[in-house]
């Protein structure tokens, strides 16, 4: 754990710079979280510099382009006209007043937390850290990461004896401020403006909390202060574990409903009419995205430190992880009803993004489903308006090109994995020989060639 100091003059100076929009803001990690955040600060007339080790992202932003579908190039160009810039040169971090870390926190092959992005970023920041700076971690992680992992690296690596400020100690001229504020991005959700999503903030001390609250309060309409970084870290895990567990519950009930001959979607719709005590969650082919499939395992891993087994969380993860296998079995059964075998069958997967209407492949169940189908001998193609090509990722290597959706008639089975709004499902039902629907995309369409999975 770190040795803490307490500050006054540096705190007041930084608070004034934030309130007057003179503070320079550095955002590390220009992905689905970091880039939108950087643009919000630029809109609020802060001078923002984005940092990323991916030179292609830096070059794209430098030329006024965008690599995220929901952020048009015009937004990047407008931000650049207001001073936004991107760089891979971390030495300029010393010029920043606030440094916000938005890097990935995936799982490794053993489903244990991979903090390498955080530790590498902290090591890159440390040599350029100066007194009076505010460092905020946004990456989802287990409770204790900010204090047990981030701060020690920053303190050891700066070479100037800088310490993280807390409520004990004295040397005000020799400290920096640290907080944790979990990202709450929901890609594809256009019903809630980013500014209207309350921002949870937990500082290492009251001054850090106040500074972080002021910084985020300049772009978010509500800031929710909590007592520590660990509370803020746990808050994000609770949010996503809550969703993971409820999705697992409804996935399990879907499997039971299929055996009982019941329509789980009709059941959910009926249950949703209850005005209290019920929130609808929906079944699917598996979990995707960086949060829900990943975050529960961060807490399960950390719980072992206290000799505690999170059985309920782990059960939910197991149920959700089995859904791609259920989908493949469903395809196999549907083909057999048409006197065809999965081995050698042509299967077109519709939608590979982890959820509808976004360009994000992270942890998408479609990738697992494609691999399982290929393993069973199927000839697999895919269509997704957001992905002309699928290459190699952290846990997959498919090297596939997008097939035109007009080719559905050439396949033995069309498997709907992601229900993008662009698809004409009525047309697909008319032209496909067999449709296996995992998303209720064919709701209201009645045809003998549709199998609801």
User: What is the rounded CA–CA span in Å between residue 245 and residue 300?
Assistant: 13
Which residues make up the CATH 3.40.50.720 domain(s) of the chain?
A: 9-227, 243-452
pLDDT score of 306? 92
pLDDT of 3 above 60: no
Q: Are the CB atoms for 242 and 299 separated by under 8 Å?
A: no
**Is residue 45 predicted with pLDDT exceeding 90?**
yes
Residue with tokens 């207001």: 82
d(C-alpha 323, C-alpha 79), whole Å: 42
CA angle 338, 341, 345 (to 5 degrees): 95
Chain Cα centroid distance, residue 401: 25
pLDDT at 412 over 80: yes
Mean pLDDT of 278-305: 91
Q: Is 166 a catalytic residue?
A: no
Q: Is the pLDDT of residue 169 over 50?
A: no
The one catalytic residue in 4, 102, 244, 291 is 291
d(CA 236, CA 142): 9
Please state which CATH number belongs to domain 9-227.
Answer: 3.40.50.720
What mean pLDDT is predicted for residues 10-33?
96
pLDDT at position 288 over 60? yes
More confident residue, 307 or 290: 307
pLDDT value at position 2?
A: 47
10 Å CB burial of residue 78 (0-12, 13-18, 19+) is middle
Name the pLDDT band for 290 (thresholds 50, 70, 90): confident
Tokens 């629907």 label which residue?
A: 437
CATH topology (fold) of 243-452: Rossmann fold (3.40.50)
Q: pLDDT value at position 356?
A: 94
What per-residue confidence (pLDDT) applies to 1? 45
Q: How confident is the model at residue 170 (pLDDT cuts 50, 70, 90)?
A: very low
Q: pLDDT of 178-206, one tens digit each?
A: 999 999 988 778 888 889 999 999 999 99
Lowest mean pLDDT, pick from 213-227, 286-300, 367-381: 286-300
pLDDT number for residue 421:
95
**If you average pLDDT over residues 215-235, what whole number do you get?**
98
Q: What is the pLDDT of residue 172?
A: 60
């Amino acid at each position: 754990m770190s040795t803490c100091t307490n500050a006054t003059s540096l705190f007041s100076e930084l608070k004034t710079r934030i309130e007057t929009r003179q503070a320079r803001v550095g955002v590390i990690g220009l992905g689905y979280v970091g880039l939108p955040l950087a643009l919000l600060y630029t809109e609020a007339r802060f001078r923002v510099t984005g940092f990323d080790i991916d030179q292609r992202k830096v070059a794209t932003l430098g030329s006024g382009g965008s690599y995220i579908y929901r952020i048009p190039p015009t937004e990047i160009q407008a931000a650049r006209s207001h001073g936004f810039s991107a760089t891979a040169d971390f030495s300029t971090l010393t010029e920043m007043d606030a440094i916000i870390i938005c890097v990935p926190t995936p799982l490794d092959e053993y489903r244990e937390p991979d903090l390498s992005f955080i530790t590498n970023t902290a090591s890159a920041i440390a040599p350029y850290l100066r007194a009076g700076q505010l460092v905020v971690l946004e990456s989802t992680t287990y409770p204790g990461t900010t204090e047990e992992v981030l701060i020690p690296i920053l303190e050891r690596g700066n070479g100037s004896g800088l310490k993280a400020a807390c409520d004990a100690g004295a040397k005000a001229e020799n400290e920096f401020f640290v907080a944790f504020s979990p990202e709450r991005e929901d890609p594809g959700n256009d019903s809630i403006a980013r500014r209207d999503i309350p921002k949870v903030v937990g500082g290492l001390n009251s001054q850090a909390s106040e500074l972080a609250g002021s910084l985020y309060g300049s772009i978010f309409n509500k800031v929710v202060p909590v007592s520590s970084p660990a509370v803020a870290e746990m808050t994000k895990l609770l949010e996503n574990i809550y969703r993971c567990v409820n999705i697992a519950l409804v996935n399990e009930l879907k499997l039971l409903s299929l055996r009982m001959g019941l329509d789980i979607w009709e059941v959910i719709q009926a249950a949703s009419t209850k005005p209290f005590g019920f929130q609808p969650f929906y079944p699917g082919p598996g979990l995707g995205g960086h949060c829900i499939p990943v975050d529960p395992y961060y807490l399960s891993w950390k719980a072992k430190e206290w000799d505690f087994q999170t059985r309920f969380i782990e059960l939910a993860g197991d149920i959700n992880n089995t859904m791609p296998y259920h989908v493949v079995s469903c395809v196999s059964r549907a083909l057999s009803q048409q006197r065809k075998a999965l081995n050698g069958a042509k299967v077109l997967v519709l939608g590979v993004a982890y959820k509808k209407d976004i360009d994000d492949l992270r942890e998408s169940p479609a990738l697992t489903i494609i691999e399982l189908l290929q393993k069973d001998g199927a000839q697999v193609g895919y269509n997704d308006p957001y992905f002309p090509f699928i290459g190699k990722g952290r846990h997959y290597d498919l090297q596939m090109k997008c097939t035109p959706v007009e080719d559905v008639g050439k396949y033995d089975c069309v498997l709907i994995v992601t229900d993008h709004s662009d698809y004409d499902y009525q047309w697909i039902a008319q032209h496909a020989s067999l449709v296996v629907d995992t998303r209720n995309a064919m709701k209201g369409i009645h045809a003998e060639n549709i199998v609801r999975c």
